[in-house]
Chains A and B, each alone.
Chain A
């Protein structure tokens, strides 16, 4: 199994540009989570999907952030327009639906907004 796949691994962009992060969950997993990690705020859940349906987006910082999951094998997190304070490592994780299931994290995307 290839595990959770994220792309790109690194992204450097200028303030104001649109950024799209991509995630492919583990085949068969039906829950998908987007996290942001910074030194100041730690590991924050942004949004999660069950069976491709957004369940909780209360962690999305503001309207500049949006996430989609058009099918069971693909999700995107978009930031438009990006700002320097969005610089962070963004992780995608997947699990089997159900409380108490192990979440498998992808390698993360390190985003730098200058």
Chain B
């Protein structure tokens, strides 16, 4: 079955800097890769996703890149703001069942 690894587990950046979170997956059949953001005490919410026929996708300050050959994908947040502080989860699947990474706690310091 699919296995998703996520790094780093914690990430601290200064406001305005960029943040990068990386994930690797094991199942070459996986073709859908969403990213969820979970604020403290809240539910996970989808922030961006990418499918295997696309190498990069951007939405304002966030972008995701996918390298199918290497089986890894990354989340990039530019011009970070304090409200970006949260836990971010990557996931991968080729079915309805999402396999989540272990999460990255991002702290953005003013």
A binds B: yes
A contacts, CB < 8 Å to B:
31, 33, 42-43, 45, 48, 50, 55-56, 91, 95, 97-103, 105-108
Asked if A50 and B96 sit within 8 Å, CB to CB, the answer is yes
Question: In the complex, what's the smallest C-beta–C-beta distance from B47 to chain A, in angstroms?
Answer: 10
* Majority secondary structure of chain B interface residues (helix, strand, loop or mixed): loop
Contacts of B14 in A (CB 8 A): none
Question: Which residues of chain A have C-beta atoms less than 8 A from B103's C-beta?
Answer: 42-43
**A103–B93 Cα gap in the complex (Å)?**
13
Which residues on A sit within 8 Å (CB–CB) of B44?
43, 91, 105
C-alpha gap A91/B32 in the complex (Å): 21
Instruction: Please determine whether B102 and A42 come into contact, CB atoms closer than 8 angstroms.
Output: yes
- Which chain B residues border A103 with CB–CB below 8 Å? 46, 98
Residues of B near any A CB (own CB < 8 A) = 31-32, 34, 42-46, 49, 51, 89, 93-103
Q: A91-B43, A107-B43 are in contact. Are A101 and B96 (CB under 8 A)?
A: yes
Q: Give the distance in Å from the alpha carbon of A98 to the alpha carbon of B76 in the complex.
A: 27
What is the interface of chain A mostly: helix, strand, loop, or mixed?
A: strand
Residue in chain A with minimal CB distance to B46: A102
Min CB–CB distance A77 → chain B (angstroms): 16
Contact yes or no, B97 A102, CB < 8 A: no
- Cross-interface CB contact of B95 among A42, A99, A106, A107, cutoff 8 Å: A99
Rounded to whole Å, the gap between the CB of A13 and the closest CB of chain B is: 21
Instruction: Tell me whether B95 and A43 are in contact (CB under 8 A).
Output: no
Other contacts beyond A33-B98, A100-B51: 18, CB < 8 A: A42-B100, A42-B101, A42-B102, A42-B103, A43-B44, A55-B97, A91-B44, A97-B96, A99-B94, A99-B95, A99-B96, A100-B49, A102-B46, A102-B49, A103-B46, A105-B45, A106-B43, A108-B43
A45 touches B96 (CB 8 A): no
Minimal beta-carbon separation of B33 from chain A (angstroms): 9
